[in-house]
């Protein structure tokens, strides 16, 4: 097995799976321990992992799916987007907590 080719395949799988280590290891036929050994011993490989930033790619992917749902008129997605992105326009849920305004501040225990 060509280790460099396997590492390259791992990096491709890692990016495609948005950083899922188990899925990436399975795709190239290595153990998780092999992945962690590579990260520890191969500075270049470790830097490649860091540079991929799969979390940002995943967030971009999720946002694109949300936009698709919104464009298709999905009410739940529209409400979610308004609650998270349009707070300054008043689209926010608030909870009111009553502290017993009708109760006296002090109770005479006599």
Q: Is 14 within the bounds of a domain? A: yes
Q: Is 103 within the bounds of a domain? A: no
Q: What is the pLDDT of residues 7-58, one digit of tens each?
A: 999 999 999 999 999 999 999 999 999 999 999 999 999 999 999 888 888 8
pLDDT of residue 57: 84
Query: Quick check: 18 and 54 in contact, CB under 8 A?
Result: yes
Q: Is 83 within the bounds of a domain? A: yes
Q: What is the spatial distance between Cα 34 and Cα 56, in angstroms, rounded to a whole number?
A: 25
Query: Quick check: 12 and 18 in contact, CB under 8 A?
Result: no
Domains: count for the chain? 2
Q: For residue 61, what are the contacts with CB-CB under 8 A and spacing of at least 6?
A: 18
Q: What is the spatial distance between Cα 28 and Cα 49, in angstroms, rounded to a whole number?
A: 16
- 107 has pLDDT over 70: no
pLDDT of residue 38: 96
pLDDT of residue 23: 96
Q: Is 99 within the bounds of a domain? A: no
pLDDT of residue 97: 75
The pLDDT-based confidence of 110 (bands split at 50, 70, 90) is: low
Residues 47 and 61 in one domain: no
- 74 has pLDDT over 70: yes
Q: What is the pLDDT of residues 76-102, one digit of tens each?
A: 999 999 998 898 888 888 777 776 666
* ∠ Cα 14 6 42 (to 5°): 80
Domain that holds residue 46: 3-52
pLDDT of residue 4: 86
Q: For residue 69, what are the contacts with CB-CB under 8 A and spacing of at least 6?
A: 76, 77
Residues 21 and 41 in one domain: yes
């Amino acid at each position: 097995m060509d280790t460099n080719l396997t590492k390259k395949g791992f990096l491709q799988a890692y990016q495609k799976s948005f950083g899922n280590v188990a899925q990436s290891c399975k795709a190239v036929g290595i153990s998780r321990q092999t992945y962690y050994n590579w990260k520890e011993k191969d500075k270049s490989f470790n830097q490649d992992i860091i540079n991929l930033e799969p979390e940002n790619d995943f967030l971009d992917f999720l946002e694109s799916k949300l936009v698709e749902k919104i464009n298709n008129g999905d009410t739940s997605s529209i409400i979610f987007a308004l609650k998270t992105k349009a707070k300054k326009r008043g689209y926010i849920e608030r909870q009111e907590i009553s502290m017993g305004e009708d109760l006296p501040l002090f109770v005479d225990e006599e």
